[in-house]
Structure 1
Amino acid sequence: MRFSVLSSILANALSASAGTILWDGRFNDLSSSKDLEKWSWANQVGPYQWYIHGSSSVTAYVNLSPDYKNPADSGSKQGAKITLDNTAYWNGQNMRRTELIPQTSAAINQGKVYYHFSLMRKNTNPPATTREHQIAFFESHFTELKSGLLSGAPGESDSLLRWCVGGQTQWSTDWEADVWHNVAYEIDFSANTVGFWHSTGSDPLTQKVAPISASTSSNGADWHVGVLELPRSGYPDTTEDYYWSGVYIESGSITTNIAGPGAPSDGGSGNSTTSVTVAPPSTTLATSTTKASSATTTSAPATSTTAGSGGCTAAQWAQCGGINFTGCTTCASPYKCNFINDYYSQCY
């Protein structure tokens, strides 16, 4: 009995948070999904950029509830249900998309970092097995989850959930209903490698694939928390729901405990918490440079602007122009100031 208690204490200690939270997307600061609509290119507030969605109101595509989170994720107050319906077409594309992008200037694209999330489906409104779905992906698709029949693959359907690197499957499992899949992408942007951690339910994360070589390309504002579905002729749209929990990005040592950073350490009573380090905020907001992307990741054309002579230089990916912008308008060599929209130009 004594050994059992000591083992339990040791296991909890080893799985407690030891990293630094760079960005927290666990929906704890949102009273409802309608809070997402406060974000705009002119008013970049909140934890997420919200612009990749269909023509209906936000509640058609994203809803929040404690019922939508992994019960083991006591660090989250609620989870999100992200939906594709017959209106979920963005920007005139022929692909259904509902996606959230981190709104942060933290260094989530530098050094070694861990991108955490939990994902689940139900038998009600399940993802179609007859179409490819790209889930939790980067603009360059160097790493992502995929489900359904991959585009161009033979056959009628595919029930697997896959982790892919550069489009190649490195790990897979049958995607059963009501099973929470806990995931962490281990990304080393300096070494150009990516590894895969996974567990189900309340089990702690374990490394399933050691880091392998990848083209780890990201501007720090192009990770898509959501889903892009490729079209397939002859297969009509059906409503699909995806459940998300425990979304955050950390540096340092990986948190393997599904309770997550800052979660009660006493089984959820709230009397004590683990120690959590949060990276200090930056004053510069990061904005996606790829407002129009597709399955082949085609970016919106960037228009070059003339940099001013403000006596200072902005680094790569920094803001360099826009309405009411008062910072550096000259980019450090060899970067140029590129127009994104009326409120934002960026060095790259």
Structure 2
Amino acid sequence: MKFSLLSALVANALSVSAGTILWDGRFNDLTSSTDLNKWSWGNQVGPYQYYIHGSSPVTAYVNLSPDYKNPADTGSRQGAKITLDNTAYWNGQNMRRTELIPQTTAAINKGKVYYHFSLMRKDTNAPATTREHQIAFFESHFTELKSGWLSGAPGVSDTKLRWCVSGNTQWSTEWEANVWHNVAYEIDFNANTVGFWHSTGSEPLAQKVAPISASTSSNGADWHVGVLELPRSGYPDTTEDYYWSGVYIESGSLTTSVAGPGSGPGGSSSSTSSTTKTVSSTTLSTSTTTTTKAQSTSTTSTAPSTSTQPSGCTASHWSQCDGINYTGCKTCASGFTCKYINDWFSQCL
């Protein structure tokens, strides 16, 4: 009997945690979102860099609660609600942005690694379907989720959640309210490939797209846990909320259980009142099938000037340096070049 119980515990532990955590962003070490204010370029502490946000206090853009996590994610004590409101403009840009970046020196951009997170929306403060949203993206946009109407696409709105590689949709599903989408990006930085794992609710991750070729460029400090919304004329800002859970990066074998590493055999987190449901996903069977092609986001040409630069102004690394209606600094700091991302946005890289 004792042997059977021990075997069951071992089997459960192995099924929950299969890999080695390189960076843990599950908000377990934060008492509230105000802890993010402790981080600065001169005091790089905590699990996240916090500098891409609007001008209001941190609680306007990031809030933590057990009610904000996937109930099946028992490895997380709480989840995060990340918000875009009418003040969420960073550093003079014309795009709304609220993003957190891993604070770590671990090799999250080496070898084969898995970037985990769960994402959910509600009908209250739902993301607009009439604007493109870039979610959980890298600076070079070699892989990311997208929602809403894709820039340059026909039509007016789009209700799908998409996984994209270099701007091309490789998987998509209807983004319904109160459904937790559990995701792992399978990234091989040596082989320059990226694959996609997904499930909903409490279901274990399953491979939806096998690894395909991608320009897997990352300096280890450019994965954005959050959202960037591209502007679109004629569509006013509305408040939007995005719910995040189970954010971590691992190497070795993939953890497919949504409970996550460190959750224990029966789970350790308190239950929540969140409503969840499971939906079927639409997948693309081969890497050569593309449902929608967004405007290119990986070209490295310099953007044409669209406005006059303020005098004596220099844009720092990662900052915007050009784009339609942009009026901020257009000269990048020494060592960086203004690179075209899209018509609305160029960046010092």
TM-score (norm 2): 0.76
Distance 1:295 1:187 in 2: 30
Deviations 1:44-63 (A, max 9, x none): 11100000000000000000
Aligned length: 284
Q: Give yes or no for the alignment of 1:51 onto 2:64.
A: no
Alpha-carbon distance between aligned partners in 1 of 2:331 and 2:45, rounded to the nearest angstrom: 23
2-side partners of 1:289 and 1:68: how far apart?
32
User: 2: CA distance between counterparts of 1:304 and 1:141?
Assistant: 21
- Residue 129 (str. 1) matches residue 129 (str. 2): yes
Cα distance in 1 for partners of 2:331, 2:127 equals: 28
1:290 pairs, out of 303, 306, 318, with 318
Per-residue CA shift, 1:264-297, capped at 9, x if unaligned?
Answer: 2124489xxxxxxxxxxxxxxxxx952448899x
Aligned partners of 2:321 and 2:332 also within 8 Å:
no
Q: Are 1:198 and 1:206, in contact at CA under 8 Å, matched by a contact in 2? A: yes
* 1:172 corresponds to: 172
Residue deviations 1:109-167, cap 9 Å, x none? 00000000000000000000000000000000000000000001111110000000000
Matches within 5 A, 1:1-348: 12=12, 15-268=15-268, 289-292=317-320, 301-304=332-335
CA shift in 2, pair 1:13/1:304, >3 Å = closer
Distance 2:245 2:136 in 1: 12
Cα drift, residue 303 of structure 1: 1.4
| Amino acid corresponding to residue 179 of structure 1 in structure 2 | V
Deviations 1:203-243, CA, capped at 9 Å, x for gaps:
00000000000000000000000000000100000000000
- Residues in 2 aligned to 1:190 and 1:40: alpha-carbon distance in whole angstroms: 31
Aligned counterparts of 2:229 and 2:190: Cα–Cα separation in 1: 31
CA distance in 2, matches of 1:71, 1:299: 45
Is the 1:112–1:190 contact (alpha carbons within 8 Å) kept by the matching residues of 2? yes
Give the partner amino acid of 1:78: Q
> Structure 1 residues 29 and 300 mapped into 2: Cα distance closer, same or farther (>3 Å)?
farther
- The answer to whether the 8 Å contact 1:139/1:293 transfers is no
The structural deviation recorded for 1:194 is 0.1
Provide structure 2 residue ranges, at least 5 long, that are not aligned to the other structure.
271-315, 337-348
Shift of 1:15: 2.9
Q: Secondary structure, in 3 states, of the residue corresponding to 2:194? A: strand
1:290 is matched by which residue type in structure 2?
Answer: W
Closer/same/farther in 2, CA of residues 119 and 293 from structure 1, 3 Å limit: farther
CA distance in 2, matches of 1:294, 1:223: 21
Cα deviations by residue, 1:4-33 (Å, 9 ceiling, x for unpaired): x9xx98984663212110000000000000
Task: Give TM-score, length-normalised by structure 1.
Answer: 0.77
Matched-pair contact (CA < 8 Å) for 1:47–1:103:
yes
* Distance change in 2, residues 1:109/1:138 (3 Å): same
- Alpha-carbon distance between aligned partners in 2 of 1:267 and 1:104, rounded to the nearest angstrom: 27
Distance 2:35 2:267 in 1: 30
3-state SS in 2 of match to 1:303 = coil
Q: What letter corresponds to residue 318 of structure 2 in structure 1? A: T
**Is the alpha carbon distance of 1:300 and 1:255 closer, same or farther for their aligned partners in structure 2, counting shifts above 3 Å?**
farther
129-138 or 259-268, which deviates more: 259-268
SS of equivalent to 2:105: coil
Q: Which structure 1 residue ranges, 5 or more long, are not aligned?
A: 271-287, 306-347
CA distance in 2: counterparts of 1:299 and 1:207, whole angstroms: 42
Q: 1:101 is matched by which residue type in structure 2?
A: I
Which AA in structure 1 matches 2:152? G
